[in-house]
Structure 1
């Protein structure tokens, strides 16, 4: 498979027709991730209530693979339990790095990124949005435990 084969019509369609959610002014937490390999950057904002992600925003500068991941996340994340999102993140890591199955259900469009498995240099940009959201969730959890204890 050639690198150009990664950029299937479906990937280009998902990336090219994605609604850009923009940043959230009232976010509970934000996080920024940068791919050292390709220079892709994403900043995510989250609002979380009772363990459910109820608000999401992002600003992204990435290749079509990173944009595709971010587009699916932006479309599906609101209303998702924090634990369920972390499961999707793990499934994406497993799909790319350990021959795992792609996420299913409302996340099934992520299956179009499965060919990225053969291109380790593209893993980081594909996973960028998942890692940024996970970092934001870790920050939020850390802030909440500080507020409760201190």
Structure 2
């Protein structure tokens, strides 16, 4: 029963608020790059669209079909990503992974809102869903940065 109680605590009011209000929750009409990621464990999917201007995210859109934890992560990322460089996004991805897998520090601003997901450290089966948006965004921005610098 303790496991059930811990899982209920995981879905805090703040996580549910974030999941219900995802910024940039529609796809872009003309993205510079798009990446879709799927968690094989739970079937959650996220598709992100990005455009870059002067090496920074100028537009972002996402289609999120994930559990509340994946939605909460998408909400934090959506609210923070505009104006970020590919290096900032990759660092946030790596920091979030370390936070979840190694109980590492919270990702740096502007992605520090991901701290709300720290209780998920104990639920390894939820990590992939939480990582989807940053994994997809990091890949999309890296693709776009590569094509723009060529």
Question: Which TM-score applies when normalising by structure 1?
Answer: 0.89
- Given that 2:24 and 2:60 are in contact with CA atoms closer than 8 Å, whether structure 1 keeps it comes out as no
After superposition, the C-alpha distances for 1:58-80 in whole angstroms (9 at most, x for unaligned) are 11100000000001111110111
SS in 1 for 2:110: helix
Name which of 113, 118, 123 aligns with 1:119.
123
Task: Determine the structure 2 residue equivalent to 1:110.
Answer: 114
Deviation per CA, 1:30-75: give whole Å up to 9, x if none.
0000110111011100001221111100111000000000011111
* 1:13 is aligned to 2:17: yes
Whole-angstrom distance in 1 between the partners of 2:63 and 2:97 = 22
Q: Do 2:25 and 2:64's aligned partners in 1 also have CA atoms closer than 8 Å? A: no
- Rounded to whole Å, the distance in 2 between the matches of 1:15 and 1:131 is 18
CA distance in 1, matches of 2:66, 2:24: 13
Cα distance, 1:120 vs structure 2: 0.7
Query: Does 2:63 match 1:54?
Result: no
Structure 1 position 94 matched with structure 2 position 98: yes
User: 5+ unaligned residues in a row in structure 2: which ranges?
Assistant: none
Q: Which residue pairs with 2:77 in the alignment? A: 73
Return the offset for 1:121: 0.5
Question: Measured at CA, do residues 11 and 23 of structure 1 come closer, stay the same or move farther in structure 2, by a change above 3 Å?
Answer: same
For the pair 1:84 / 2:110, whether they are aligned, the reply is no
Whether the aligned pair in 1 keeps the contact of 2:59 and 2:82 (CA below 8 Å) is: yes
Runs of 4+ that moved beyond 2 A: 17-21, 104-108, 137-145
